[in-house]
Amino acid sequence: MKIAPFSIKIEGLKELEGIFKQAPSIVTKQIDKALRLSIALVNRQARIEAPVITGHLRRGIHSKLNPFMGRVESTVWYGVPVHKRNPFMARGAEKSEAKVMLIFQKAVNNITTQLAK
């Protein structure tokens, strides 16, 4: 049996192609914003949780942001040994977790809203 050739016209295909072309830009912008907010939140909470004698440990907590990745770390030489006895960084991350989840949920919502326009 031979199948007759046919064609399908998809309404709105050009608009859909335009949306897909914008997707990487929209996703990157929203995820970067969510990462910046989240890293700042974890950094702030880790500083609050850090034990203080001189304040050097607290001032030594810094953030690094790369595309699709963020990091909060102590840059003082004794940060890791202190953290092993008093896990202030882990507490900072744990106390920030719920807000970080909300930040990323908002980013996902923003992405879907912008792509649906």
What confidence tens digit (pLDDT) does each residue in 36-51 have?
999 999 999 999 999 9
pTM equals: 0.82
Could you tell me which residue, 12 or 8, shows the higher pLDDT?
A: 12
CA of 6: how far to CAs of 44, 45, 84, in Å? 62, 62, 69
Locate the domains of the chain by residue range: 13-116
What are phi and psi for residue 98, nearest 5 degrees?
A: -65, -45
Is the pLDDT reported for residue 10 higher than 70? no
Give residue-wise pLDDT tens across range 70-87.
899 999 999 999 999 999
> How many Å apart are CA 36 and CA 57, to the nearest integer?
22
Percent of the chain whose predicted confidence (pLDDT) is above 70: 88
